[in-house]
């Protein structure tokens, strides 16, 4: 489901699914450049351990953020970092499954490769390193 974005937010392509949430947004935690990045995370709060609880920007921050509907924790929409100072807690990145094309391969041959949190973050950030604030390639 694509959501209408709060007028206070500069984010776009915001979506909430049962398993994951996504947005193209500016970093609001200060860890990354102030350019647009895509963040896709499991729809799960690491603090209160609820699923399907993340809400888009209910507090109307300029960059946009994910907020837990149960415990009110706030997370950066770019890297999933908890915005409570010094917590070191992150949302879990979610890899959207790609459609499987029927062929003669066995399930062992098509098993997805699991990437670490750091590898996924590096992949996402590397994709958008040449995009400035206006979304134009440098």
| 98 alpha-carbon distance from chain centroid | 17
The strand pair at 54-56 and 20-26 is best described as unpaired
Instruction: Give which of 77, 2, 4 is closest to 36, Cα–Cα.
Output: 77
Is 80 exceeded by the pLDDT of residue 10?
Answer: yes
Q: Residue 138 and residue 135: Cα distance in Å, rounded?
A: 9
Q: Residue 38 and residue 21: Cα distance in Å, rounded?
A: 11
Instruction: Report the pLDDT value the prediction gives residue 67, as an integer from 0 to 100.
Output: 96
Mean pLDDT of the chain: 81
87-131 pLDDT tens trace: 789 999 999 888 888 766 555 555 566 777 767 776 776 666 555
Q: How big is the CA angle at 12 (ends 9 and 16), to the nearest 5 degrees?
A: 100
Two structure tokens written together for 36: 């647009």
Mean of pLDDT values over 53-77: 94
12-54 pLDDT tens trace: 999 999 999 999 999 888 788 888 999 999 999 999 999 999 9
Residue 32 · residue 77 · CB < 8 Å:
no
Instruction: Report the pLDDT value the prediction gives residue 6, as an integer from 0 to 100.
Output: 45
DSSP 88-137: --BPPB--PPPPPPP-S--TTTSPPPP--HHHHHHHHHHHTTTB-TTS-B
Task: Give how far Cα 96 sits from Cα of 26, 41, 49, 84, Å.
Answer: 21, 9, 21, 27
């Amino acid at each position: 489901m694509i959501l209408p974005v709060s007028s206070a937010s500069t984010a776009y392509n915001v979506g909430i699914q049962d398993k994951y949430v996504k947005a193209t947004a500016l970093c609001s935690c200060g860890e990354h450049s102030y350019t647009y990045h895509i963040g896709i995370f499991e729809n799960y709060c690491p603090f209160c351990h609820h699923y399907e609880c993340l809400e888009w920007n209910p507090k109307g921050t300029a960059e946009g953020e994910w907020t837990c509907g149960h415990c009110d924790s706030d997370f950066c929409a770019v890297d999933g970092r908890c915005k409570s100072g010094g917590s070191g807690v992150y949302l879990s990145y979610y890899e959207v499954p790609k459609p499987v094309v029927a062929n003669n391969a066995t399930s062992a041959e098509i098993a997805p490769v699991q990437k670490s949190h750091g590898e996924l973050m590096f992949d996402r950030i590397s994709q958008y390193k040449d995009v400035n604030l206006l979304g134009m390639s440098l």
